[in-house]
Amino acid sequence: MQQITLTQPDDWHLHVRTGDMLKTVINHTAKQFARAIIMPNLQPPVSNVAQALSYQQEIQQATSSAYAFTPLMVLYLTNSTTIEDVKQAAESAAVQAFKLYPAGATTNSDQGVTDLQAMFPVFEAMEKHHVPLLIHGEVTDAEIDIFDRERLFIDQKLRFIHQNFPALRIVLEHVTTREAVQFVQETPANIGATITPQHLLYNRNAMLVGGIKPHYYCLPILKRESHRLALVAAATSGNPKFFLGTDSAPHLKHLKETSCGCAGCYSAYGAIELYAQAFEQANALDKLEGFASFYGADFYQLPRNTKQITLEKIDWQVPNDYAIAEGMQLTPLKAGEMLHWKLKG
């Protein structure tokens, strides 16, 4: 049988929520990944070190003791984040970064930043204290077409932030466009990007042709095929600026399958298998380990993992749903379909 062995990967962009949802999804992640960057968009958001430590403890308690897994915490930037918050984050071993959500850009972003320029003293402190800035890169103006929001964020906001804080380490999260890939390629090594499995595997037809398929709806929204191809080329290029971040974002089935469904794809159940499928389709399985296991750790200046995982070439069927609580289900990406790689053990 065909198999591949990799250094254990990390997930550099993950939503795990709280309560019953957390208890299910965290073990899907922990069985494959050694570490994950935990997104702070709870309600209320995780916006200071004390909240991050308490959320980290909740995550650790929900994780099976069978797994050695470290949740890496992130603070949510709000209009009231202070320079003192940045200093405390820099001194905390648990906190790795701040996340910038433009207000209104995505799930639970209403506490996000409304005036970027007003945040400049905070960005300056982050640059000085070597704290990375993770960015949801979409403009939010109501009149801007949803398919253009990432490209315009780069031109109108991101270039400006980078020019003003050239040494600030920035991760442009879940990139979805050719323009984002180009921006990351053209900037220095302190600008990186995560890429999700859904943006490598699908274009917007998956979501819209033959009926609206809400389980493919995430933000930034799936784009046209030429953008998907640019993302696949970037992920499989061996360029260390691009690394794995699933953006696995679980929402209960009934909240996605409704007249105004939530944004987010649930991929953590089989994340490394989904990436293996995308890399295999691109004839680039030899590039998977760098993308999944090395470049993110290098960007965050953390040690690379030393354990290994093995994937076997076996077909298996993705469950239609995962039970979260009485009458509450979570529908995974590729529900009921076949995956062609399986994590061993």
Q: Which residues bind Zn ion (CB under 5 A)?
A: 247
Least distance from ligand NCD to the Cβ atom of residue 269, Å: 16
Determine phi and psi for 121, rounding to 5 degrees: -60, -35
- Judged by beta carbon, residue 294 or residue 322, the one nearer ligand NCD is 322
Q: Could you tell me the two tokens for 28?
A: 């899907």
Q: How far is 104 from 221, CA to CA, in rounded Å?
A: 15
Query: Backbone phi, then psi, for 38, in 5-degree steps?
Result: -95, 115
- Interaction of residue 218 with ligand NCD, rule CB under 6 A: yes
Residues that bind ligand NCD (rule: CB under 6 A) add up to a total of: 11
Angstrom distance (rounded) from CA 69 to CA 22: 14
Instruction: Return phi, psi of residue 112, to 5°.
Output: -70, -175
| Cβ-based neighbours of 259, under 8 Å, separated by 6 or more | none
- The structure tokens listed for 138 are 């979409």
Q: What distances in angstroms separate CA 80 from CA 54, 124, 132, 318, one per listed residue?
A: 20, 15, 18, 43
Q: What x-and-dash track marks residues 15-54 binding ligand NCD by CB under 6 A?
A: x-------------------------x-------------
- Check residue 135 for interaction with ligand NCD (CB under 6 A): no
The distance of closest approach from Cβ of residue 93 to ligand NCD in the complex, given in angstroms and rounded to an integer, is 25
Catalytic residue among 247, 298, 315, 321: 247
Shortest separation between residue 263's beta carbon and ligand NCD, angstroms? 3
Q: Is 267 in the site for ligand NCD (CB under 6 A)?
A: no
How far apart CA 103 and CA 239 sit, in angstroms, is: 31
Between 198 and 305, name the residue whose CB sits nearer to ligand NCD: 198
Interface pick for ligand NCD out of 132, 245, 264, 296 (rule CB under 6 A) = 264
Q: Which of residues 62-91 bind ligand NCD (CB under 6 A)?
A: none
Distances (CA, A) of 133 to 200, 203, 243, 292, 311: 24, 28, 16, 20, 33
> Smallest distance from the beta carbon of 326 to ligand NCD, in angstroms?
23
Question: HSE on the CB side for 101, CA within 13 Å?
Answer: 23
- The encoded tokens of residue 18 equal 């709280």
Q: Which of residues 101-120 bind ligand NCD (CB under 6 A)?
A: 106-107
Q: Which one-letter amino acid corresponds to residue 125?
A: A
Nearest 5°: the CA angle 296, 340, 313 is 85
**Does 199 help bind ligand NCD (rule: CB under 6 A)?**
no
Which CB, 11 or 247, lies closer to Zn ion? 247
> Is 115 part of the annotated catalytic residue set?
no
Q: How far is the CB of 13 from Zn ion (least distance, A)?
A: 6
Q: Where on the chain is the footprint of ligand NCD (CB under 6 A)? A: 15, 41, 106-107, 136, 218-219, 247, 249, 263-264
